[in-house]
Structure formats: C-alpha cells, structure tokens
Structure 1
Amino acid sequence: MLRWPIFRFCVLVLLTGCLACSANASGKKPYARDRSFQNFLSSLWPLAEERGVERQTFDRAFANLAFDPKVVAKTIKQPEFVQSIWQYIASAVSPERLDRGRQRAQAESAWLAKAKKDYGVDEGVIMGIWGLETDFGASTGDDNVIRELASLAFVHFRGDYFRDELLWALVILQEGEIEPRQMLGSWAGAMGQTQFMPSSYLAYAVDFEGAGRRDIWTSAPDAIGSTANFLDAHGWTKDLPWGFEVELPDGFALTDADSSKAAPFGDFAARGVRRADGGAFPRSNEGRLFLPAGLKGPVFLITGNFDVIKAYNASTSYALAVGLLGDAIIGGKRLAARWPTADRSLSMGQVRRLQAKLAQIGYSPGDIDGMVGEALRSALRAYQERKGLKPDGYATLSLMKQIDAEKRGSLGLR
C-alpha cells in the first residue's frame, strides 16, 4: 500500500518534476556507481542504529546488494495516453476478476466477517482493495524490497521518502517478521497481498490468525485483518457505505457545492435525488456528488468512507474501483447508467495544457502533470459555475477549447 496512487491494472505515470539526480546516478560508469551505492548504504548505519537495528541485521540485509538501474527507468515511464475512467473501471472490475473475487470471498468468509466485527469495515471494501492491489494475492510482486528501496533512496527519488521506508524495512527484518530473501514486493517497495509499505506494515499489520507473526505475504487472514485495521485507524465509519449510484431528476440544479461540500442525505432526497438501485438512503450522515464522467455518465453520492479509501491510495478512480469491485463481489451490484464510451479522452498533453491554462486565468488545477484528478475537476467546476455552465467537472475537448480561448484576467476572479 503506497501513499500515492499506484494502479495495478492500468499504466500509471509517476511524474517528479526533475529527476536530474536520478539520471546522474544511473548514468555513472558501473564501477563508480556501484562504489557510490555501497558508500550510500554504509552511510545509513547511524540512522538504522537509531531505530534499533543491530549491525548483524544491517550487514545481512545489504550483503551483495547491487543497485538496480531498471527501477529508475520505471519512475519516469510515461504512457502514450490518459486512460479514461470507464477503461480503468472495466479493467479493474472485469468478469474474470469478479469470478475470482467471489470464490475468494466465499473461501475467506469467516475472516471477512471477523474483520467486520473487530474493525467495522465492510467486506466489500476489503475485497475491492485486495483485488485491485494483487488480484487477491495472485500477483504480490517478486522484486527484492530492500534492493528496490535502496536504489530509489540512492537516487533521492521523492526526497527522503524511500530512504525512510528502507530504514523501516530494516526494522521489520530486525523484529524477525520475515527473512530478507522472502521480503518481496513491487518495484516501489509495496509488500504483501494488500501492498503495504514498510512504515504502514509496522503501524497497521496484524497477526489476525494468531500464527505468531504478521504475515501479509502468504496469509490471507493477516492481509484481510491488516487492511481492515488500516481503514479503521484512518476513520472508517461503521455501517456507512462508501457511496452508491444515484439518479438525478430532470432539471436538477447542480452546483459546485454539491460535489465539494458534504450535505445530509435528506437534503439530496428532498431535491429529488434517488438511489439507482431503488434502495433507501442511510438514515443519518451525509454525502456529496461524484461525477467522474460528468452528467453524461454514472453519478454517485459518496461518503466520508470514500475518503478513507483514498487514504489507502489517493486516487479517486482507485477509490471508485474499490467500491464498485467490492459491491459486485459481495452484493452482485452493477451500474445502472452507461459510461459515455463514445467520448474521446483528452491526451496527457491536452490535460497539461488545460491545467496550465486554468492556472494562468486564476484557478487551482493542482500539479501540471497531465493527470485528471480531483484538483482539476474542482477547478473545472468552479470555471463552469462562473460561466453559467453545469458544473460537472468533466474534462472534454470542447470545454478545453473554450478555456483555451480565455484571456488572462478576463474572468475577474476574486
């Protein structure tokens, strides 16, 4: 589990602004680079010792460890296009994954029920995370976590983040939870069946089945319990859904506040909003609208638990896929509305251009990274509302062209 979005079923870009230090480190002659790498590892000893790591553990973890130049290339890999939300959802909630998920949910039903009893977390959300992260334990990664973390730390990718995760990985080895050769995971150091980074493992992993160690690699019960513990610790509200699909009445007066600020469910019901499945709204709590494909696609009313899923992975697309996958596995629910698949998605370059133009005329679209995220949707909604358009935050080619034609300062923003 990573602290930034990692999509396992689509290509994801990790943009860093400038990787000059990475290029320099990986571009050195092998002998000089390897010597620098070994010097870097040696320099970590005082920090590791401060965390309670013994010298024997330290030396054993780094014995014969070599820099991995391939991991640097992975940090700057860019896709040729931006995947649409419906393509991502179709891949994440595929029929094959649903079949496997239902089989695993049945096999682990007792542990899922225990997780709900102990932590209050819905079975579907756990299944959704488990499915998206590793296909229910089938693809946990076979990279050496120590090597990958050390390589990323050596080139200072994302500052000190990977150095610190490497040090926490050494703490895990010191505590005897796993052998170095068995500490396998993704290229970025995420481990186990629900992909915990070392710091998250130390904070939230649990020995759910009572085997004497926290084994998120081979124990499905431990992976289930650890995931539930993480969500509970980040504010999961018991008996509150992550959200659900809704239908808006004709003439619904959509506002930016409907998507940016939570309101009681009763307020939405009073305005004619209804659940797509015909069910009742929760009797208490509140939600906000989420329109990932604007008014042309499925519309959702999401809750604070949706934001808790985003604590696991900050992507709104990921959180939606978790919810939809879990609902389909546990309750057999499917979307009522269709995605606007005939729409042409903006390219990464077009999204960057849109972000840059919005920033130029006074809005806050987030990083100029070519990725459609909540910051960009929020900026689009603010622009649409100011221009008298329906503020659905949907990035279309026609909207991009309209914004592109705006002149700096022409909107008279406060």
Structure 2
Amino acid sequence: MAMLLVLPIALLSAPASAAKIDDQFRAWLAQDLWPAAQASGVSKQTFDAAFAGVSPNLKLPDLVLPGQKPTTPKKQHQAEFGSPGSYFAEKTIGAVTSGGRARAGRHARTLAAVEKRYGVPGEVVLAIWGRESGFGAAKMPYDAFEVLGTKAFLATRKEMFRKEVLAALVMVERGLVARDQMKSSWAGALGQPQFLPSSFLDHAVDFDGDGRADIWNSVPDTLASIANYLVHYGWVPGRDWGFEVTVPASVSCALEGPDQGRGIAQWAAMGIVRVTGKPFPAREAKAEGFLLMPAGRSGPAFIVTPNFYVLKKYNESDLYALFIGHGADRIAHGDRTFAGSWGRVGGLYRSDIASLQRALEAEGYDVGGADGLPGFKTRRSIGAWQEKNGNAATCFPDRPIVEALR
C-alpha cells in the first residue's frame, strides 16, 4: 500500500519525548477512543483489558509525531525501485506455488466445497493463503492493540486505523477471539488470511461447522473466509484473472488502466495476442478486458479481467494481484515463468518519482497523486507525455524522464 514513510525514532532524542507521547496517548484513549468504543457496544472491562500495559510503538512505520507533518523523504540512502521483476523472485513465488500444490491435494475436498459455494477457484485461494501467511506458518509478533492503537493515534491514515481498532475491540467484546490471541503483523493484520479487524467482522466465516469463525487455527475457515472476501468485492465466477500477451508497437501503452476497458475481442483485433499462441477463450473474448503493463514497455504485458481488480482489493498493488494470479496459474498448471522479460528499469528514489509526478500534474496529467509510487495512472501519463513530445512511449519512469521534467 502506498504509505508515506516517516521514521519517528530519529526525532526522539530524549526519553522525556517518548514519555510525553505516552501521556498524550493515554489521554487520547480516555477522552477520544473510549467514548467511541462505548458507543460501539464495548464494555469498560474489555476496553481496559485491551490497552492494559500498552504504549505507542514508535518503531512502527508510517507514523507522524505530534507537531510534525507527513512528508515524502527528500533524501534517501537506498533506491526504492528496482525492476518490478524482483517482486517475482523464484524463491518467493516458488515457495507459494510448491506449497500450494502440496496443499491442493491435502485439502482437495475443502477447496472443492469452497469453490462450489463461492465460485472462487481453489488455486486462487491457495495463492493468497501462501502469500499472506506462508500457509499459516508466518509468526505474528505484534500485539494488535499496540499496533492499531499506535496507528490510530499517530499514523498518516488515522481514521482508517481508528475504524480498525474499534473493530478489534468489538471482536473481543463479542467473544469472537480472546484478548491474548490478538497478535498481528506490523500493519495490524490478523490470522492466516491477514484480515484487518473490520474485514474479519465482514468476511470471516465458520466453514468447519464448529460454531465460530477461526482464521487462526482452522484451515476450512481460513480458505472460505478468503473466498468470501473476494466474492464481496465482486469476483466473477467462470472468468479468469488475465492472460500474458504481446502488445505490438502500434498499440499505445498509455491505454493501460481499469477505466480504459474494451472487449477482449477488440484488443485482439488491435493485434494483441496471447504469448501461448492460443486464442482467447470464447467466453472471455466476448467480455471486457483491460491492458496491464506494470513495467511499461520494459516488462511483460497482460490483458486482465475484472477479477484482477478484485484481487487488488486484497492489497492495493498491481504487482500483488499479478503475483496471486500468476501463482494460481502455476499451482494449477505447473511452474511457468513469464514469457516477457523484466527490463533493467528502476534505480530511482521515491522522491524522484514524486518530483516527476508533480511535474506531470503541473502539465495537466492525472497521475493519481504525487505519492512517489508509479501506479498505472503515472505509467500511462508518462507514455502520453512521451508521445506528445515526439518520443517513443515507454510508460515507466527512468532517469532521463525525471531530468527532462525537472
């Protein structure tokens, strides 16, 4: 997710500073969060138990201390962006796909029942399970109330985490989970599917029939909860997530994005073909698809379906959704790498990308905000700018483009 990184520890030169923040945190709990929790039906006993001994964890990322303003760092010591291909390191995706295939047989009956009820293929559910928690093996080292409380008090997105800490309190109040079981990731995500508390309340299901939705210990509940989440966000049964394709030079990479869809048959008529050489399935050719070029002309290209954007609801990243789709294909059909190669792109700082985005905004382009992250709006804006200025469109930031737009 696109968050601004502000490292608070560097700002706390004296222990008294941390103590003052702890006092402010305690006042905020009493005067602000408790009334909201009480209005949500949370008892004082539950509230006090949740925050007993809890202090703000100032080592967490994305925090803004009192009196500070969130900023994108001006100087950085490491390049934020290498090739997007590094996201698909074989060590990472291989562990998900081999682990997924092993569990596909072990949990075949459960996966079949989940797919029958929700319409989500088992391999997609397995890929998410593997990516999120290593099929339940990942350790959750943080106290959820410490993380969520800290972020609701100090994060760049306070309102989001305020909602989540209140949902976590409701979970405990209703007896859905014990206080001591509330362990999370650094972002406050829970259990094997890595749900935020509001997602647990909305999407967790009891699929093993024991009377409770247990995403910590129950594989059937975990798998069904993941599928239920995807259905809630619009998963279309019977459709694929997408196809790797070859995009001819005559098709502009600036046509990328979920708001520029057209019939897949229309994309094919423009010269876009599957890398396998096979035609698009008839059911897909009649439906809408979208161009995806996560590294612009310097990487593999795809025609994706609405289900790809449902996968993005799990983690708002093109690369995450592509990892899940590609991983699911490998679980179902065997290890196949992308046909297209990832070019030698990247090596820029996040501040470089933000500078480029601000320059494009000044020229009237919609880059989706100057957040320092090259999402599809930034990529296609780069392509449109390149075309306007008589250059071949690459649709991905590089040093010459940054310098040209300074």
- Residues 143-195 of structure 1, C-alpha deviation per residue, up to 9 Å, x if partnerless? 11011111222225413221221111000001111111111111121111121
Equivalent in the alignment of 2:67: none
Aligned letter for 1:162? F
Aligned letter for 2:316? A
Equivalent in the alignment of 1:409: none
- Residues 191-224 of structure 1, C-alpha deviation per residue, up to 9 Å, x if partnerless? 1112111111101111121121111112222121
Q: What is the TM-score normalised by the length of structure 1?
A: 0.85
Structure 1 residue 371 displacement after superposition: 1.7
Structure 1 residue 131 displacement after superposition: 2.0
Secondary structure in 1 matching 2:307 = helix
Aligned letter for 1:268? W
Equivalent in the alignment of 2:318: 316
Equivalent in the alignment of 1:69: 58
Aligned letter for 2:150? S
Per mean C-alpha deviation after superposition, the further-off stretch among 362-371 and 314-323 is 362-371
Per mean C-alpha deviation after superposition, the further-off stretch among 339-348 and 286-295 is 339-348
Contact 1:363 1:379 in 2 (8 A): yes
- Residues 331-357 of structure 1, C-alpha deviation per residue, up to 9 Å, x if partnerless? 225234242344454332332232222
Q: Distance in 2 between matches of 1:89 and 1:26?
A: 42
Q: Distance in 2 between matches of 1:27 and 1:155?
A: 18
The number of aligned residues is 391
Per mean C-alpha deviation after superposition, the further-off stretch among 30-39 and 45-54 is 30-39
Q: Distance in 2 between matches of 1:296 and 1:34?
A: 48
Equivalent in the alignment of 1:362: 364
| 1:45 aligned residue (34, 46, 69) | 34
Q: Structure 1 pair 25/376, CA: closer, same or farther in 2 (3 Å)?
A: farther
Aligned letter for 1:373? G
Whether 2:166 is the aligned partner of 1:177: answer no
Contact 1:256 1:385 in 2 (8 A): no
Aligned letter for 1:359? E
1:139-218 aligned at under 5 Å gives the runs: 139-218=138-217
Per mean C-alpha deviation after superposition, the further-off stretch among 194-203 and 146-155 is 146-155
Structure 1 residue 226 displacement after superposition: 0.9
Aligned letter for 2:126? M
1:321-336 aligned at under 5 Å gives the runs: 321-332=323-334, 334-336=336-338
Secondary structure in 2 matching 1:160 = helix
Task: Note the aligned Cα RMSD (angstroms).
Answer: 2.9
Contact 2:25 2:56 in 1 (8 A): yes
Secondary structure in 2 matching 1:71 = coil
Secondary structure in 1 matching 2:302 = strand
Contact 2:97 2:127 in 1 (8 A): no
Contact 1:293 1:339 in 2 (8 A): no
Equivalent in the alignment of 1:411: none
Equivalent in the alignment of 2:244: 245
Secondary structure in 2 matching 1:164 = helix
Secondary structure in 1 matching 2:59 = helix
Contact 1:48 1:170 in 2 (8 A): yes
Contact 2:96 2:127 in 1 (8 A): no
Q: Structure 1 pair 341/72, CA: closer, same or farther in 2 (3 Å)?
A: closer
Q: Structure 1 pair 292/254, CA: closer, same or farther in 2 (3 Å)?
A: same
Structure 1 residue 388 displacement after superposition: 4.4
Structure 1 residue 228 displacement after superposition: 0.7
- Residues 352-372 of structure 1, C-alpha deviation per residue, up to 9 Å, x if partnerless? 232222123222223323222
- Residues 254-273 of structure 1, C-alpha deviation per residue, up to 9 Å, x if partnerless? 36336551111111222332
Gaps of 5+ in 2: 65-69
Q: Distance in 2 between matches of 1:342 and 1:180?
A: 48
Secondary structure in 1 matching 2:213 = coil
| 2:396 aligned residue (394, 397, 414) | 394
Structure 1 residue 287 displacement after superposition: 0.7
Secondary structure in 2 matching 1:124 = helix
Q: Structure 1 pair 338/362, CA: closer, same or farther in 2 (3 Å)?
A: same
- Residues 95-123 of structure 1, C-alpha deviation per residue, up to 9 Å, x if partnerless? 33332222223222222222211111122
- Residues 39-74 of structure 1, C-alpha deviation per residue, up to 9 Å, x if partnerless? 222222221121111222222222222332222577
Q: Distance in 2 between matches of 1:153 and 1:23?
A: 19
Contact 1:143 1:184 in 2 (8 A): yes
Aligned letter for 2:103? R
Contact 1:25 1:33 in 2 (8 A): no
Equivalent in the alignment of 2:21: 33
Q: Distance in 1 between matches of 2:174 and 2:17?
A: 37
Aligned letter for 2:143? N
Secondary structure in 2 matching 1:353 = helix
| 1:349 aligned residue (348, 351, 358) | 351
